[in-house]
Amino acid sequence: MTPVRVAAARALLAIEDGHTTLAAALADARIDIADRDKALLVELATGTLRWRNELDACIAAASRRSVTQIDPRALVVLRLAAYQLRHLRVPPHAVVHESVEAVRELRAARAAGFVNAVLRTLQRRDRTISLPKRPEADAHRDAKVAYLSVTLSHPAWLAARWLDRVGFEAAETWCRFNNTTPDVTVRPVHGVAHEDLLARLRAESIDATPAPYVTDAIRLPPGTLGRLSEPLRADLVVQDEGAQLVARMAAARAGERVLDACASPGGKTIVMAADMHIARHARATLVAADFRASRVALLAQTLDRAHVPAAIVRLDARRPLPFADVFDCVVLDAPCSGLGVLRRDPDLKWTRSSDDLPRFAADQLAMFDACASAVKPGGRLVYATCSSEPEENGSLVASFLQSHREFALAQRDRATTVPASLLTGDGCLSTNPPAHGLEAFFTAVLERRSAA
């Protein structure tokens, strides 16, 4: 199994260097891995990232040195090994042997003895290594942050933010949620009935259940996709339930002109096409756009596979758009910190910082301004993120409204298919793990006042 560990280590090193994301690193790593080992590759890399702070505390205790003093190649191997020992319960002798071989394969042979010694110490001491315990209710704030950051493995700056904003109980629930393996949420491709897809999944002995918040979405257990037959896999699209709710907030209708300004990979476009009842060969009234060429190519591939007849364009939503104010609805699912989806993208825990938020907010406000110009009088502008942080969500909407008096928050009845329990008092979608068991998504629907 050494090739899998080496591939996982290389993926983690690339992420540490800031060269890639977890999704991209795994896509590259899978190329040279046998099909039977691909699920293990994902488990090793993803699990190690989820629990990185906890693993580092154990490695530091076993090695009696700061992890910052350890060769990066040896450190990723130790993290992978500690994850297997503590969370997967892989036999210690196998973990130690394979880890020593892996660090040699990574051209850090001089660290092999060190890796061997640390893992044997970790094996011997096992659960006696002391991590911050769950604090009492009246404990000092620092003790609570240490528990959330080290024992529940979240960056201290983010743990402190959540603690101050939602309180200890909710912050703890949130951190635990992020460290779990998510279910898979799917929806039928264009032209396939939800009921038929659900029945076919169950016919293949898949434990498929209707999603609790989106009426035509289906939840599957983790690891299910690899078991599906090819015809069945071709008739569904994987999309987080929170992301589907964002598309439903747009309330796209038949006969409207709709622009999805940051559309790739295309999941929200698919949902809106279904809501608009667009026939497969009809003239497109739905425009899907993105900026980077690779993202546009992915968007085109997704929509073609789902049989969605949308016009696809390449544009930079931070600049003035090449459209007049002709759209009934413009959807801006803005690039963001991604701090609301750490369960699915745990690498973001360690590659984001509080200093990133103003930068994201500046780009988001520029996109907000650009997209507003394409909304016709009486139309609506839908702003969304998968961030949990106010600077990218409610605060940004408030800032936009201050400088665009022609827009106002829409009335809640526009989003009748979205459960009221997921909406704030002013009608914005705001999901979060402690309250809903969903990733953190935010959506505000703004209406442009009709010309006098």
- In DSSP terms, 236 is beta-bridged to 188
Q: Is the dihedral of CA 109, 114, 117, 120 positive or negative?
A: negative
Q: In sequence order, which residues have a C-beta less than 8 Å from that of residue 258 and are 6 or more positions away?
A: 250, 252, 272, 276, 285, 286, 287, 327, 328, 329, 330, 331
Annotation marks residue 386 as catalytic:
yes
Q: Can you tell me which residue has the tokens 């699990």?
A: 47
User: Of the listed 175, 329, 386, 428, which one is catalytic?
Assistant: 386
**HEC readout, the chain:** CHHHHHHHHHHHHHHHCCCCCHHHHHHHHHCCCCHHHHHHHHHHHHHHHHCHHHHHHHHHHHHCCCHHHCCHHHHHHHHHHHHHHHHHCCCHHHHHHHHHHHHHHCCCHHHHHHHHHHHHHHHHHHHHCCCCCCCCCCCCHHHHHHHHHHHCCCCHHHHHHHHHHHCHHHHHHHHHHHCCCCCEEEEECCCCCHHHHHHHHHHCCCCCEECCCCCCCEEECCCCHHHCCHHHHHCEEECCHHHHHHHHHCCCCCCCCEEECCCCCCHHHHHHHHHHCCCCCCCCCEEEEECCHHHHHHHHHHHHHCCCCCEEEECCCCCCCCCCCCEEEEEEECCCCCCCCCCCCCCHHHHCCCCHHHHHHHHHHHHHHHHHCCEEEEEEEEEEECCCCHHHCHHHHHHHHHHCCCEEECCHHHHCCCCHHHECCCCCEECCHHHHCCCCCEEEEEEECCCC
Q: 403 near 445, Cβ under 8 Å?
A: no
**Active centre residues (catalytic):** 386
